[in-house]
Amino acid sequence: MATLDLTRDLEEDFPPVSLPTSSSSSATLCCSITLPLAASTTMELGCRRKPREPGVTRYEEDFQLYQGRLSEFTLKELKVATNNFSNKNILGRGGFGQVYKGQLANGYVAAIKRGREVSDTSVLMFHAEVKAGNQLNHPNVAPLLGFCTSSKSKDNLLVYPFMVNGSVASHLKDRIGSQPPLSWHMRMKVALGAARGLRHLHSLNIIHRDIKASNILLDERFEPLIGDLGLALFAAERRRAQIERVAESERGAADLALCNGRTNKAECQLEDLTVHTSVRGTIGYIAPEYISRGQCTKKSDIFSFGIMLLELLGGRRVYELCRLAIEEGAELVDWVIGLLKNNELERLIDKDIRGDYNEGEVRQLTKIALLCTEHEPKERPSAGELVQLIKGDGWHERWENQVDYIVLKEELSMRPTCDWIVIDSVSRLRPEELSGPR
């Protein structure tokens, strides 16, 4: 069996992602995503904008700013690519709309997301994906190839590379036909690659808000790529707006106070602030502080990532794992802690891999998942720490430091009820319908 090199880090000096070229002159794609758009550059662009034109919303202004860096396809091109959006080419459905498999004029196979619902939400999701697609260039984040807008048909379309191995979710218990389960080696590869992708998002102050197994895509080499950024929150911009409103609200003043008394607003880092926003995401993955109080930070993504790790370990969707826990009178995280304490992790691990796994790595990944799903956001690792923990650097020490805290909470009955998931509502819905108010 091939060995996964957990010591190698792909974050720095990776090559640009090569993209195809469209046949249309109006839809010429760049040869590669050479985007030197670091977060600071993007923010500088935002600060130096001209005054907004009358009647133009902030989202429309954002779209005008970013769309020039992506290729624009015509609706005719994408109709030809998908055989007029034939039902036979439907890959699935997400919060934005139907996803079709299509073949561009040059033979490149793409996944084309078509949003036909005319609503403020769908337009915002479209703008978010276009905006994110211009900033992201990482081997573990799905690259956006281009887009199409049609005022005549009110279509908004996004063009991504087709991922031949689907998503992590498609390889869990409900996989189709004779499709084999993911090997343990592949599961470790998915965990590490997805963590690197999340670290890249967070380095640009982008909060994904919908990390889950169905949004971790797998290419032909089973390399994981984080996809579906329709709910992405550009937190640095929200942070700046909140700071500008400091004098106008008690919440803004409290947020600024969290900057440890620093007077230079530019020095106030995102980790010091909580972005207050309406709840978005998928039931079962949403962090407790976000679903109950609307407090969203990077640590909200870390919580979701921990739930995804439990899915990887168990080979089941989160609502299936929750059913198993409820049957034993426990909530999911507490159930997993119990299995770990009693050396019964074989009851969690996907039986379809027939015991072909590394027991030490299973305990390692389980403990990392528990660190990620800590009720208190400050007790969860950052995305950068997460990468190191999965690589094997310092995870045992991190767990030993944390376990004292967990034991103390149990002794003092401090562990709050995890009311972030409602089993009854989840059990009646298919995963595609669990995306909440997108």
Q: Does 391 show up as a binding residue in the annotation?
A: no
Tell me what the mean pLDDT of segment 244-268 comes to. 50
Where does the pLDDT of residue 178 fall: very low under 50, low under 70, confident under 90, or very high at 90 and above?
confident
Sheet holding 98-103, edge to edge: 71-72, 146-150, 155-161, 109-115, 98-103, 90-93
In the annotation, is 210 catalytic? Answer: yes
Q: Using DSSP bridges, classify how beta strands 206-207 and 233-234 pair: parallel, antiparallel or unpaired.
A: antiparallel
In the chain, helix, strand, coil percent, each to 5?
45, 10, 40
Where does the pLDDT of residue 344 fall: very low under 50, low under 70, confident under 90, or very high at 90 and above?
very high
User: Under a CB-based contact definition with an 8 Å cutoff, are residues 195 and 386 in contact?
Assistant: yes
pLDDT tens-digit readout, 24-38: 333 333 322 223 333
- How far is residue 295's CA from residue 422's CA, in Å, rounded to a whole number? 19
Neighbouring residues of 79: CB distance < 8 A, sequence distance ≥ 6:
85
Residue 185, pLDDT above cutoff 50: yes
- How far is residue 40's CA from residue 18's CA, in Å, rounded to a whole number? 25
Q: Which of 5, 9, 120, 210 is catalytic?
A: 210
Residue 161, pLDDT above cutoff 80: yes
Residue-level pLDDT at 277: 75
Which among 424, 347, 360 has a CA at the least distance from the CA of 392? 360
Q: Which of 50-59, 138-147, 377-386 is predicted least confidently?
A: 50-59
Which among 140, 130, 93, 141 has a CA at the least distance from the CA of 113? 93
- How far is residue 296's CA from residue 114's CA, in Å, rounded to a whole number? 28
Residue 299, pLDDT above cutoff 50: yes
Number of other CB atoms surrounding residue 329 within 10 Å = 8
Average pLDDT, the chain: 74
Q: Which of 120-124, 179-183, 213-217, 262-266 is predicted least confidently?
A: 262-266
Neighbouring residues of 353: CB distance < 8 A, sequence distance ≥ 6:
181, 182, 183, 184, 315
* Tokens matching residue 201: 């998002």
Residue 66, pLDDT above cutoff 60: no
User: Under a CB-based contact definition with an 8 Å cutoff, are residues 375 and 292 in contact?
Assistant: no
pTM over 0.85, yes/no: no
Q: Which of 126-130, 154-158, 252-256 is predicted least confidently?
A: 252-256
Where does the pLDDT of residue 409 fall: very low under 50, low under 70, confident under 90, or very high at 90 and above?
low
Q: Which of 235-244, 391-400, 405-414, 420-429 is predicted least confidently?
A: 420-429
Mapped onto helix, strand or coil, the DSSP state of residue 225 is strand
- How far is residue 20's CA from residue 108's CA, in Å, rounded to a whole number? 7
Which among 101, 175, 432 has a CA at the least distance from the CA of 283? 432
Domains detected in the chain: 25-161 (3.30.200.20), 182-231+280-438 (1.10.510.10), 232-276 (no CATH)
- How far is residue 257's CA from residue 262's CA, in Å, rounded to a whole number? 8
Which among 121, 141, 123, 119 has a CA at the least distance from the CA of 132? 141
